[in-house]
């Protein structure tokens, strides 16, 4: 799954998000910087996209569990969950975008 992946672009557009750029790769998916196509505030978000078709049962369960867990957490120190969706064997998790990077990258810079 890459930034030029037409399926990823279509998946995000179907859920009203515009793909801007790839920002990360993890064990179970890719993270993309996206922008809402319906909101006029032009806020940017991060969407973690997990390909469920090629995922093991364990990985798919963990990805779904991550979305459920994030939706239940509310703390200033945790990235805010916005929404999640599944279609075409892909899971998308929309979270707030922290333009300063993640905690790990901040520690490395220090």
Confidence of residue 14 (pLDDT cuts 50, 70, 90): very high
This prediction's pTM = 0.82
Q: What is the pLDDT of residues 76-105, one digit of tens each?
A: 777 889 999 999 889 999 999 987 766 666
CA-to-CA separations, 85 to 11, 49, 100, in angstroms, rounded: 10, 10, 26
In order of their start, the domains of the chain are 6-109 (3.30.200.20)
Q: What is the pLDDT of residues 30-59, one digit of tens each?
A: 999 999 999 877 789 999 999 888 888 888
3-state secondary structure of 88: coil
Query: How far, in Å, CA of 60 to CA of 72, rounded?
Result: 19
Is-contact 58 73, C-beta < 8 A? no
């Amino acid at each position: 799954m890459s930034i030029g992946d037409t399926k990823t672009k279509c998946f995000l557009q179907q859920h009203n998000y515009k793909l801007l750029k790839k920002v990360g790769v993890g064990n179970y998916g890719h993270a993309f910087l996206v922008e809402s196509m319906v909101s006029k505030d032009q806020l940017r978000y991060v969407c973690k996209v997990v390909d469920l078709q090629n995922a093991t049962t364990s990985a798919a369960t963990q990805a779904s569990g991550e979305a459920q867990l994030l939706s239940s957490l509310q703390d200033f120190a945790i990235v805010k969950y916005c929404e999640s969706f599944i279609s075409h064997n892909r899971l998308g998790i929309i979270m707030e975008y922290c333009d300063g990077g993640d905690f790990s990258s901040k520690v490395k810079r220090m």
